[in-house]
Amino acid sequence: MSCSQCVGIEFKFDRKKAAQELQGYRKDGPKETTRRLIDAVIAEGVSGMTVLDIGGGIGAIQHELLKEGANSSINVEASQAYIKAAEEEAKRQGHAQRISHFHGDFVDLAGNIPECDVVTLDKVVCCYDDMRGLVEESSARARRVYGLVYYRNHWYARIWTALDNFLNMLRRHPFRQFMHPPEEVDQILRSKGFQKRFHHEVGVWLTVVYERSNPR
């Protein structure tokens, strides 16, 4: 990730946004797309599993999977404010000691992050320019299940990202969004030994869950 995108992420996903997200989660639970990913992962079986959630935000996926019987979780987040919010919520829910937090760009940190049974990236690929690097490094850490939510290749997703990037450019905000072709993501995952188990499209979002053909 370029340094300006790191700065952009800290600006965009700041304390105010983290507090709003946390409030929304406490009131209504995970957002619809996040809930869909969680349910599809749970359908693969999470009891006793270890979870790696990349760009986990306030940690909704981790909190829900730990409540469903996952053993422990690793959160790798580029926003310091989101890590604090995820820690606060983990304490409130009584499972803070089962989550380890790492702050930074996952691709930079990947060499120090252990393999986990389940790896999730909920609306993270679309914040990252080097899709191939992110998908290859993250899927290499998935022993069994790999789940993603990211932009569909649809005209309104393209318009939305172009408009948001244009407005950010005008405002001199360094954050940018990226549309990566789902066929390329799929091709990378299949070449790494994953097969698709779940596929759902709604609005601008695509939710997919893959399983490793030969679990490690």
**C-alpha pair distances (Å), 44 with each of 135, 181, 209:** 20, 25, 9
122 touches ligand SAM (CB under 6 A): yes
205 touches ligand SAM (CB under 6 A): no
Question: In this chain, which of 106, 150, 151, 205 binds ligand SAM, going by CB under 6 A?
Answer: 106
Taking the CA atoms of residue 157, residue 161, residue 163 and residue 164 in that order, the dihedral angle to the nearest 10 degrees is 130
Question: In this chain, which of 36, 84, 95, 123 binds ligand SAM, going by CB under 6 A?
Answer: 123
Count, residues near ligand SAM per rule CB under 6 A: 21
Shortest distance, position 156 Cβ to ligand SAM, whole Å: 18
- Residue 161 burial by Cβ neighbours in a 10 Å radius (0-12, 13-18, 19+): middle
> Which one of the spans 120-128, 153-161, 190-198, 207-215 is the region binding ligand SAM (CB under 6 A)?
120-128
Site string for ligand SAM, 40-59 (x = CB under 6 A): --------------xxxx--
| Size of the chain, expressed as the number of residues it contains | 216
Taking the CA atoms of residue 56, residue 57, residue 58 and residue 63 in that order, the dihedral angle to the nearest 10 degrees is -20
Shortest distance, position 75 Cβ to ligand SAM, whole Å: 9
- Find out whether 39 and 8 touch, Cβ atoms under 8 Å: no
Residues in region 62-91 near ligand SAM by CB under 6 A: 76-79, 82
Residue 56 or 147 with smaller CB distance to ligand SAM: 56
Q: Looking at residue 115, what DSSP letter applies?
A: P
81 Ramachandran zone, left/alpha/beta (phi>0; psi -120 to 50): alpha
206 touches ligand SAM (CB under 6 A): no
Residue 107 or 188 with smaller CB distance to ligand SAM: 107
Q: Could you tell me which residues are beta bridge partners of residue 209?
A: 147, 198
34 touches ligand SAM (CB under 6 A): yes
- Using CB under 6 A, list all residues that contact ligand SAM: 1, 9, 13, 34, 54-57, 76-79, 82, 105-107, 122-124, 127-128
